[in-house]
Amino acid sequence: MKPPAFEYSAPASIAEAVSVLEQHGDEAKVLAGGQSLVPLMALRLARPSVVVDLGRVGELKYVRHQDDLVRIGAMTTHRDIELDGILQDRSPMLQEAMSVLGHVAIRNRGTVGGSCAHSDPAAEWPALALALDAEFEASGPRGQRTIAAEDFFQSYFTTALEPDEVLTELRLPLPKRGTGTAFEEFSRRHGDFGIVAAAAVVRRSGGTISDASVALAGVGGSPLRSTAARMLVGSDGGDEVLQAIGVAVQDEIDPTGDIHGSSEFRRHCATLIMTRAIRRAVDRAEEGGG
């Protein structure tokens, strides 16, 4: 099908975009890369009266490295992230995630901000943001505010953003040197929507795991920061604790089945994918990289 009719707005600045959103409330929808919104509109599952295209807001497209923090403008594409030399070096987890996020043509248009604001339960960026304890910056008629990742993703396709707010920046603390990171995703074909994905961040001190942060996608309405994975802390990160985590995670997740996978299958995947991601992150922490 084709998208239904709408009014089109192409603001040149964040302030102008906010003004248009304020005027139209929840009748307006922000268009970022369009890789999620345009198909939804074509299928007529989304029917905004006004589309606010951020494509001409140049001030939203940047990757700024500030020591161990990377500030990513909301309109930065997945491909920009994939090709960023510093991120390639400092965070293999981001590269692994980008490499399974659709295909190059999707990544050339899809944006970090768009993915987070859309908050598809299977999406990679929400899991990455949670695992890394990211912060979001939003701009609206009431001013700017910072939203922690754990508060940002609320439910299926639902975030803490108000209809008149524009997501402007994602602030990612980069893992310190020596941290092991890994991203693992299961999908039916390479580049398909993930069934389940896991982002793992692990630190070692001597022979034991000193810190661990693991987030899962595809196991409920929004990404999950796994409490079960905290069992890693103080452990040797070996098979025994991994097996215990794989069992315990079942109590935290609530995957809904659909044509891409039943809830039983997703539960099975959650344990499998999470274990693989943690194992790789633990190995990388041992090697002193990640």
Partner 1 sequence: MSSVEISFRINGSEVRESVDPRTTLADLLREGLRLTGTHLGCEHGVCGACTILMDGRSVRSCLLLAVQAHEHELETVEGLAAADGELTTLQAAFAEEHGLQCGFCTPGFLMTITELLREQPDPTDEEIRERLSGNICRCTGYQNIVAAVRKASGRLPQDPA
What is the contact surface with partner 1 in residues (CB under 8 A)? 2-8, 10, 31, 34-35, 38-39, 41-43, 51, 53, 55, 79, 102-106, 108-109, 189-191
Nearer to partner 1 by Cβ, of 74 and 219: the residue is 74
CA atoms in the 13 A half-sphere facing the CB of 62 = 12
Q: Which is nearer to partner 1, 5 or 259 (CB)?
A: 5
As measured in angstroms, the least distance from the Cβ of 33 to partner 1 is 8
Residue 114 or 175 with smaller CB distance to partner 1? 114
> Whole-number minimum distance, CB 290 to partner 1, in Å?
23
- Among residues 4 and 238, whose Cβ is nearest to partner 1? 4
**CA distance linking residue 33 with residue 53, whole number of Å:** 9
Nearer CB in complex with partner 1: 85/189: 189
* Closest distance to partner 1 from the beta carbon of 150 (Å): 30
DSSP 194-251: PSEEEEEEEEEETTEEEEEEEEEESSSSS-EE-SGGGGGTTS---HHHHHHHHHHGGG
Q: How far is the CB of 98 from partner 1 (least distance, A)?
A: 12
Report the alpha-carbon distance of residue 127 to residue 243 in Å, rounded: 22
The Cα 258–Cα 273 span in angstroms is 19
Q: Residue 175 carries which DSSP code? A: P
Closest separation between CB of residue 83 and partner 1, Å? 10
Q: Helices (H) and strands (E) in the chain — how many of each? A: 11, 14
**d(C-alpha 213, C-alpha 256), whole Å:** 24
Beta bridge partners of 196: 186
Which residues neighbour 240 within 8 Å (Cβ) at sequence distance 6 or greater? none
Closer residue to partner 1 (CB): 114 or 290: 114
Shortest distance in whole angstroms from residue 201 CB to partner 1:
26
